[in-house]
């Protein structure tokens, strides 16, 4: 790919990570942050991050110097005027994002691609703030952007196809795994993964198992690298709860995505997880947390219930033409490190088994959150599979 000047707005963990990825690919990168203290901190952290690559043998000292010389921290947004691609990575507020892009249009050229790294907000809505919405697109990296391989490309209704194709090729040239999805709340990963958290919390709220046992079941029986409560504490409830709330609201309060009061109370108490030392677990020095029961029968029940919910959501994502079968499975393995693609997993477990579990839950609870996907029912009836 031709080397271009890349702009990044926001110097937090995500913005810095995107800047590093672009600079490593040889681009000249200009990072703007309205907060000079944050920008200085980001500059220092970038040097540390790239030095670690040198120490691990993943980058030569010469390459590291070149990368750092390619990154410029700007104190004025006007300095991004020569950029040919600008990616915004700031607070998840649609009004703030619209304001930023509206201001950018008076600075950049007509051919500059404008992109948001939003994880759950409407790309079409943000694009509507632009005079040229056809050059606007969603380019969603996963945290940490310099390590996680997946990037979701989300064209808005207004996005020109040439912008979509250019974005796909460019991000691929940065060494990333690219999936394309419809502009829908949560896109692929943050939509499908809601069940991993929501159903786990529901099991704990019902007293079926404690946090440690549910985490143990999903790791030991399911093969997940982290259990749902460990992962929520790692992500932070300030982030995870707000994404859940946003997806639920934007999907017209669909009960399958309903947030839990348990997590809301942690959010309200500012018990965000590891970053605040307390979440579902207590990370303070000397704190004692409950041990997992390691009851295999209970563990199998937990796994079957959560995996069925995850698979159902993945199937519905395909049914609603949000993304292709291949991209859905790729997104979940590369974006959140699931041990298998959920549609491939569905074939292995048996679609009839998954449908039976969901129908049993639906019969027991009589809640719409457990409704099986229409596509799942069709496939079982016709004895079909995904692969």
Residue 83 has pLDDT above 90, yes or no: yes
The string of pLDDT tens digits covering residues 303-357 is 999 999 999 999 999 999 999 999 999 999 999 999 999 999 999 999 999 999 9
Does residue 1 surpass a pLDDT of 90? no
pLDDT of 261 above 70: yes
Give the model confidence (pLDDT) of 91-125 as tens digits: 999 999 999 999 999 999 999 999 999 998 999 99
Determine the average pLDDT of the residues in 2-19.
95
| Distance from C-alpha of 95 to C-alpha of 62, rounded to nearest angstrom | 42
The alpha carbon dihedral of 273, 278, 283, 289 has a sign of: negative
- Catalytic center residues: 119, 140, 152, 190
Sign, CA torsion 268/273/274/277:
positive
Mean pLDDT over the full length of the chain: 96
The full set of domains in the chain, from first to last, is 5-180 (3.40.50.720), 190-381 (1.10.1040.50)
Q: Give the pLDDT score at 146.
A: 93
CA angle 255, 303, 321 (to 5 degrees): 50
Task: Read off the pLDDT of residues 157-213 as tens digits, 9 standing for 90 and up.
Answer: 999 999 999 999 999 999 999 999 999 999 999 999 999 999 999 999 999 999 999
pLDDT on residue 355:
98
Residue pair 251/257 in contact by the 8 Å Cβ criterion = yes
Q: What is the pLDDT of residues 268-310, one digit of tens each?
A: 999 999 999 999 999 999 999 999 999 999 999 999 999 999 9
- State how far the Cα of 205 lies from the Cα of 304, in Å rounded to an integer: 18
Instruction: Give me the percent of the chain exceeding a pLDDT of 90.
Output: 98
Rounded distance between C-alpha atoms, residue 354 and residue 348, angstroms: 10
Model confidence, pTM: 0.95
* Mean pLDDT confidence for 238-246: 94
Q: What is the 3-state secondary structure (H, E, C) of the chain?
A: CCCCEEEEECCCHHHHHHHHHHHHCCCEEEEECCCHHHHHHHHHHHHHHHHHHHHCCCCCHHHHHHHHHCEEEECCHHHHCCCCEEEECCCCCHHHHHHHHHHHCCCCCCCCEEEECCCCCCHHHHHCCCCCHHHEEEEEECCCCCCCCEEEEEECCCCCHHHHHHHHHHHHHCCCEEEECCCCCCCCHHHHCHHHHHHHHHHHHCCCCCHHHHHHHHHHCCCCCCCHHHHHHHHCHHHHHHHHHHHHHHCCCCHHHCCCHHHHHHHHCCCCEHHHCECCCECCCCCCCCCCCCCHHHHHHHHHHHHHHHHHHHHHHHHCCCCCHHHHHHHHHHHCCCCCCHHHHHHHHCHHHHHHHHHHHHHHHCCHHHCCCHHHHHHHHCCCCCC
């Amino acid at each position: 790919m031709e080397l271009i000047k890349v702009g990044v707005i926001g110097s937090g963990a995500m913005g810095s990570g995107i800047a590093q990825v672009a600079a490593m690919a040889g681009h000249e990168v200009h990072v703007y942050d309205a907060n000079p203290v944050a920008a200085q901190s980001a500059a220092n952290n970038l040097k540390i991050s790239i030095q670690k690559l040198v120490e691990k043998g993943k980058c030569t000292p010469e390459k590291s110097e070149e990368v750092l010389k390619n990154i410029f921290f700007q104190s004025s947004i006007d300095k991004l005027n020569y950029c040919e691609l600008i990616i915004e990575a700031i607070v998840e507020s649609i009004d703030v994002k619209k304001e930023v892009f509206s201001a950018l249009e008076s600075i950049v050229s007509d051919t500059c691609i404008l992109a948001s790294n939003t994880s759950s907000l409407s790309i079409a809505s943000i694009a509507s703030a632009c005079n040229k919405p056809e050059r606007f697109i969603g380019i969603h990296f996963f945290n940490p952007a310099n390590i996680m391989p997946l990037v979701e490309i989300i064209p808005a209704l207004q996005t020109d196809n040439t912008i979509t194709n250019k974005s796909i090729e460019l991000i691929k040239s940065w060494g990333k795994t690219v999936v394309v999805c419809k502009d829908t709340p949560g896109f692929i990963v943050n939509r499908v993964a809601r069940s991993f958290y929501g159903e786990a919390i529901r099991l704990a709220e019902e007293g079926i198992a404690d946090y440690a046992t549910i985490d143990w079941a999903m790791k030991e029986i399911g093969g997940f690298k982290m259990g749902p409560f460990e992962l929520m504490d790692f992500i932070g409830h300030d982030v995870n709860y707000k994404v859940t709330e946003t997806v639920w609201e934007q999907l017209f309060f669909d009960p399958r995505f309903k947030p839990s009061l348990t997590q809301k109370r942690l959010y309200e108490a500012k018990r965000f997880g590891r970053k605040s030392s307390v979440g579902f677990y207590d990370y303070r020095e000397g704190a004692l947390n409950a041990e997992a029961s390691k009851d295999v029968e209970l563990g199998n029940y937990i796994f079957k219930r959560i995996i069925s919910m995850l698979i159902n959501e993945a199937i519905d994502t395909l049914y609603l033409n949000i993304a292709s079968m291949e991209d859905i499975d790729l997104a979940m393995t590369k974006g959140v490190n699931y041990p298998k693609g959920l549609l491939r997993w569905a074939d292995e477990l048996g679609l009839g088994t998954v449908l039976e579990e969901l129908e049993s839950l639906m019969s027991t609870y009589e809640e719409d959150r457990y409704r099986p996907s229409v596509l799942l029912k069709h496939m079982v009836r016709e004895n079909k599979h995904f692969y």
